[in-house]
Amino acid sequence: MAQTVGHMTSKHSTVEVAADCLNYTDISGSSNKFDPTGGEHMVGTTHTFEGYQAVIALGRIEPYTGTLTAIYTEIDNEAADLLQGFYENQDRICVRHRPQGAGAGNWEWIFSIFITGPVVPMTDATSGDIIIKDVPWTGTLLSWGPQAT
């Protein structure tokens, strides 16, 4: 098999949030990582009196969990402000993640999530690093596939 030429970096990635799952706000300029985990099938196993191998079946899908890393700012409608508001209000929101950015045919993943932790940043007087916060979330995958527009 020939080596892939379809690889990419995150330089065009976008992350958007929406309280109504319709009117998205692009937070790509004030966030730098979207890291989902989970979504595995539950697995059921048992043994029978006959045979020596287990009987295995896939069940429902577990929730997704992850982090959305916000650049900490105190500016309205940037990632830290929006995510803290969603956390305080206990809003279920949608997150649209586009690894190759917006564009017809580029893939997108849309999650329905709750922000489960506050956007309280860690600060370190001995560091010159930009202040960031890994904001935890839990939710479900609503859809994935090529963008229509």
Q: Is residue 9 part of a domain?
A: no
- Give the predicted TM-score (pTM) of the model: 0.89
Q: Mapping DSSP to helix (H, G, I), strand (E, B) and coil, where does residue 147 land?
A: coil
Q: Is residue 51 part of a domain?
A: yes
pLDDT by residue, tens only, the chain of 149 residues: 899 998 889 999 999 999 999 999 999 999 999 999 999 999 999 999 999 999 999 999 999 999 999 999 999 999 999 999 999 999 999 999 999 999 999 999 999 999 999 999 999 999 999 999 999 999 999 999 999 87
Q: Mapping DSSP to helix (H, G, I), strand (E, B) and coil, where does residue 99 land?
A: coil
Q: Is residue 50 part of a domain?
A: yes
Q: Mapping DSSP to helix (H, G, I), strand (E, B) and coil, where does residue 100 land?
A: coil
Residue 148 buriedness (CB in 10 A; 0-12 / 13-18 / 19+):
exposed
DSSP state of 15: E
Q: Is residue 33 part of a domain?
A: yes
Q: Is residue 21 part of a domain?
A: yes
Q: Is residue 123 part of a domain?
A: yes
Tell me the residue range of the domain where 134 lies: 14-146
- Tell me how many domains the chain contains: 1
Nearest partner of 72 among 80, 61, 64, 62, judged by Cα:
80
Q: Is residue 57 part of a domain?
A: yes
Q: Is residue 6 part of a domain?
A: no
